[in-house]
Each structure stands twice: as C-alpha cells, then as structure tokens.
Amino acid sequence: MELSEIIKSYTQKALEHYGDSATKKFYEFLSNKEFKTTKCKKCEKPFFPPRPFCPHCLGEDIEWVDMPKKGKLYAFTQQERSLRFGKPDVIGIVELEGIGKILTRINAPFESLKIGMELHLDFIDVGGLILHQFTP
Amino acid sequence: MISKQNRVRILGGVYTKFQKSLPKSIREVTFEVFKEALKDAGIQKEDIDGLYVTPPGLAGPPSFMHACELIEYLGLSTKTLSMIECGGCTSAIAMRAAAEDILSGRINTACVIALDWRAADIPEDFEYFLKYAVLMQTCLYGVYDAPYGIGAPIPYYAMSAQRYMYEFNVPYEKIANVAVVLRKHAERNPLAEYRTSITVEDVKSSRELSPPLRLLDCSPFSSGAGCIIFGKDDGKKDGVYITGCGEFHHSSHFINSAESITRFISVRKAAQQAYELSGKKPQELDVAEIYGVFTATELMILEGLGLAEEGKAWVGFEDGSWTYGGKTVVDPSGGRLSLGHPAAVTPLAEMVEVYGHLSEKWGERNVKNAKTGLVHAEHGMLNGGIVFILERD
C-alpha cells in the first residue's frame, strides 16, 4: 500500500476504534464545512470534545450546535516532525467563547503570529479527512 | 491513608543506569533489579507478600498477564498481585497502592517493580510501523488531537512553556538554565544518561523541536528499571518513612479546556494533601525529585508545590537555592532531563533517589543532613498528580 493510503485508511480505522458515535458525526459535519459540538439540553451547556452524553449530568438528551467561527489565539507552536503534515506545521490552542480552549491547526507562518490574535475558522483537507483550522 | 500517624517504611530500593535501550531482555533486567533491591533491603524473597508491577514499556504489544507471568518467573507467592498503569504516574500509583495495602493490614512487605523500554528503533517493516504509529497516536492523544499530527507530548508542553514566558515575563535564558543546573547534578550521578556539562548557550543553540522548546529543554526517551521495597512501621529508629501522600486527577487529558496550562490544580491539590497529612511545609524540604519532563515545566511544578512564587522559580536555579548547599536540592539525580526519563520507572526512581539521600546511600553525591524529602509525579500534561513526603526518623 502507498504510504499516504496507509495513513488515510488507518486514520479512519483509528477514529472508529478509539472514538464514539459523536466522533463520527463531528467529522461528518467537518466534511460539510460545519464546525459543531454537542450540547446538553438539560444543562443547556455545550461541551468539547463532543460526546453522546453530557459529561456534567451524564444525560443523553443531546443536540448538535454550531461552535464560534472566531476565536482568540491562546498559544501556538510548530511541530518538527508530524504524521500527516509536512514540516514545519503550526498548531495552536484557540479560545472559543462558550466552549473553552481547543487544539487546532493555525494556517499562518509561525513568525507572523502573536498570542491574543483574533482568528477565524477555516478548513483543511488532509486526504480522506477534513479538519478545522484557524486563520488570522 | 499514609500520614504522619500511619507511616510506611522504605526498606530498600535500586534503579538502573538509564540509557537508550535496555541492555538485556525485559525479564533479565527485572530479575536483576529485584535481586538487588532484596539485597539492599536485607530481606529474603519469602518476606515479600505483595507484588506490584508496571506495563513493560511502550516498545512492544501490551500484555494483560504481565504480572501473572512475572510472579512465576521470580518464584514468588503473594497475597496481592497487580499491574498498575496511569500514564506518567504509573509507578507512583503502584507505590501508593502497595503502601496502602500494607496500612490496610492485608500485607506486610510490598515489592514494586517498574521497567520501561521507550526508545525502540524503527522496525525494518516501515509499513507495519506506520500502521502501528497511526493507531498509537490516536490511542494516546485522542481522536480530536491526533489528526493534527501529535506524535509525542512535546507540542503541548511547548505551548505551556510559551504561555509561561508570556504570562510571567520569564526570558528564555532563565528557563534554559534549568537544564544547565540539572546537568551539573547528573555529572555526579553515575546512573544518569547524560553527564557532560552544558551551558545556557548550548541549550539556546540546540536543535529547535517545538518552539520555544529546544532539544536540551526536553528529557530523552530512555529505558531503565527499578525496584523498591516497603514494610510496616515497626517504630525502629534510623529508618526512612513515607509520612504523607496527596493525589488529585482533574477531568482533562493534555489540554485543559477550562483551566490554566501554566498553573496546575493537580500539583497544588496533591501537594496540599501531602503537606497536611505529613505535617510538613515546603520550606522544610531538604531534597525533592519532581516530574519536570521539560525545563519550563520544572519551574511550574516547583511553583505549584509552594516552593516558589508564580513565575519566580527560576530564581532558585540562579541563586543556588535549588542545588547543593541551597535550600532544597531539586533533582539531585539529574532530573528527567539528564538522568533520563523511562516514564514508567521515573516516579519509582525518584523515590529511590530521595530514599538514598535520607539513608545516606549515595556517597560523595549525597545531600548532607537530608531529613525531609518530596517525590512528585504527573500524567498527561499535569492533569493529574501525586506527591509523597519522605522523612528520616
């Protein structure tokens, strides 16, 4: 098998094996350029990562809601070696209002970034998978 | 619970020299540390009635019968037997479980064995390796982080280091100096993996891995093993005792969505409980071994333990407070950075190291008049932690 094919198919295997039904939906939404997470109808609080149950009350009355399309850059770095991306690749933590901090890819050169920058939601196709990323 | 009133005695312990690969097979190394620890403790194999082991390294398929086959191999019969895992805290949790099984009265003498084989060479079958790597990264870092290429915890800690420098205005040179001091300690320790003296310039010019972290800011992936033996508090003088243990695990793994990534609840709460139960204060510590896998993290841990104010732990590495002759000798072993970091063994090695200073086993490099010590371990990115207080009676 070609190496990129291996990464593609084993990523799918891994997401299925180590994820849950919410994982499947999360990535399905991303493939439609939708950035959503789960919200507990009882607690009225969205939470990330998404789950098919509420981590606060363990209730299963869950709905999917849009996450903010804008966020603030909390921290960032560059990976020397990384599977799926060439080097150098910038990843960072973005603060999303009402959600908290999440890990994402930052689509900008490392040197151009500063903590506190306003970023907006974008998407990237890494071959067999669409991921969220953020751009200044 | 382990406390000033309910102490557990450390009878003996050893850890091997840390290096890239194990010099012999898993079983052979296990037998060696086991036999040496028995000798150090001055007891017979038959005295052990509780055995606690850790998973034998990341390099190889997992086994859920590792403890079961080891007990046969070592020729033991015991009242308790388990393999325990908890990320970076692995051998620390095994030690806490062993100690508290003694306090419960279930056993009298516990043996904890830890071994880790981390730095595996990439196998010839690259296709197999790649498949395994993809599955492994998703297993370790989760389905929401792994797709971003996370292959090791370094980028998380790099972001924590970046925030630390930003929040507390700490220049990189101050952080790099942590590696210099720990390397000085390792120069004295024949068991350490890296013992050649380095300067701040060396750290600053070492290969950048995940900015701001450079190669010399990071601990190596090492292999090694250790074994420690605990017994009941028999009231005998001139013994080394565990007199407190605090533990806390927050509902997060690596990135803490809601909380700070420079000030860690788990360190503060685990330390608070350990100090309360032992009746000791951070200022009374003569020696400490802490789980600082990176330079900046070492500083954040010291602050969480109450040894320094927020953003100020670097001062102690410059003014001599954290080295020989200072207030608290931090990581006399050389620390994770220079001793080496076989993660599953690290907490056990930390405890053997501190036990050694309190019982004056380390000869020339022994911290003088060490009466009180601290051992700290963590998992993830300090999402959970455990702190032990050790005292010489």
- pLDDT of A79 above 90: no
Q: What is the CATH number of the domain that holds A101?
A: 2.40.50
Residue A74 phi/psi, 5° resolution? -95, -40
Same domain (yes/no): A62, A92: no
Which of A93, A133, A134 has the most B C-beta neighbours within 10 Å, making it the best mutation to test the interface with B? Answer: A93
Nearest-Cα residue of chain A relative to residue B215: A80
Quote the CA–CA distance of B159 and A81 in Å, as a whole number.
16
Residues A73, A136, single domain; the answer is: yes
Instruction: Count the domains in chain A.
Output: 2
Range from A83-87, A127-131, B200-204 carrying the lowest mean pLDDT: A83-87
Q: Helix, strand or coil for residue A49?
A: coil
Is the pLDDT at B62 greater than 80? The verdict is: no
Residue B27 resides in a domain: yes
Asked whether residue B186 is assigned to any structural domain, the reply reads no
Gap from B62 CA to chain A (nearest CA, Å): 16
A5 plus A50 within the same structural domain: yes
Predicted confidence (pLDDT) per residue in B276-291, tens digit: 999 999 999 999 999 9
Query: B255–A101: do the CB atoms touch at under 8 Å?
Result: yes
Q: Which pLDDT score is estimated for B147?
A: 93
We report the CATH number of the domain holding residue B292 as 3.40.47.10
Contacts of A83 in chain B (CB under 8 A): 133-134, 137, 149, 151
Binning pLDDT at 50, 70 and 90, where does residue B121 land? Answer: low
Question: CA nearest B37: which of B48, B21, B27?
Answer: B48
In a domain, B161, yes or no: no
Q: List CB contacts of B147: < 8 A, sequence separation 6 or more.
A: A11, A15, A84, A126, A129, A131
- For chain B, give the mean pLDDT: 95
Total domains in chain B come to 1
**Domain ranges, residue A25:** 1-67
Name chain A contacts of B148, Cβ cutoff 8 Å.
Answer: 82, 84-85, 91, 103-105, 131
Give the model's pLDDT for residue B64.
84
Rounded to two decimals, the ipTM of the complex is: 0.95
Q: What is the pLDDT of residue B36?
A: 98
- What is the distance in angstroms between the Cα of A7 and the nearest Cα belonging to chain B? 7
8 Å CB contact of A14 and B146: yes
CA distance A102 to A97: 11
Q: Taking an 8 Å Cβ-Cβ cutoff, which residues of chain A contact chain B?
A: 1, 3, 6-7, 10-11, 13-15, 17-19, 23, 26, 48-49, 55, 74-85, 89, 91-93, 99-105, 110, 115, 126, 129, 131
- Whether B205 is covered by a domain: the verdict is no
Q: Which helix (H) or strand (E) holds B298?
A: helix B295-304
Q: How far apart are CA B270 and CA B244, in angstroms?
A: 10
Tell me, yes or no, if B143 comes closer than 8 A to chain A by beta carbon: yes
Q: What is the pTM of this model?
A: 0.96
pLDDT in tens, B229-239: 999 998 877 89
Boundary-marking domain end, from A17, A47, A67: A67
The CA-based angle B324-B312-B92, given to 5 degrees, is 65
Give the number of other Cβ atoms within 10 Å of residue A59's Cβ. Answer: 12
